[in-house]
Amino acid sequence: MEDLYFKTITQTVCDYYYIQFVVFMQSLKTRKREFVQIRQISMYSLGTYTPYSNEHIAGFYKKDHLKN
């Protein structure tokens, strides 16, 4: 089950940039500017307005910098 904060904030940022939420979610690994900006703004907003840790937020976007 997806988190309500995650979906609401990301959907709002996607709407602002005229990108469909589904298209954005399918493009999480891309480095195109519009997708990177949406991801960064969403991650910043989640970190600022929710009690989630950075690791938890990065998990929503399938991002980590851990080296195994």
pTM given for the model: 0.83
Helices 33-49 and 4-16 pack at an angle, to 10 degrees, of: 140
Q: Tens digits of per-residue pLDDT, 2-13? A: 588 899 999 999
Q: Tens digits of per-residue pLDDT, 15-48? A: 999 999 999 999 888 889 989 999 999 999 999 9
Residue 66 has pLDDT above 50, yes or no: yes
CA–CA separation, 15 and 18 (whole Å): 5
Tokens 């979610």 belong to residue: 25
Please give the pLDDT value at position 37. Answer: 94
- Mean pLDDT, residues 54-63: 86
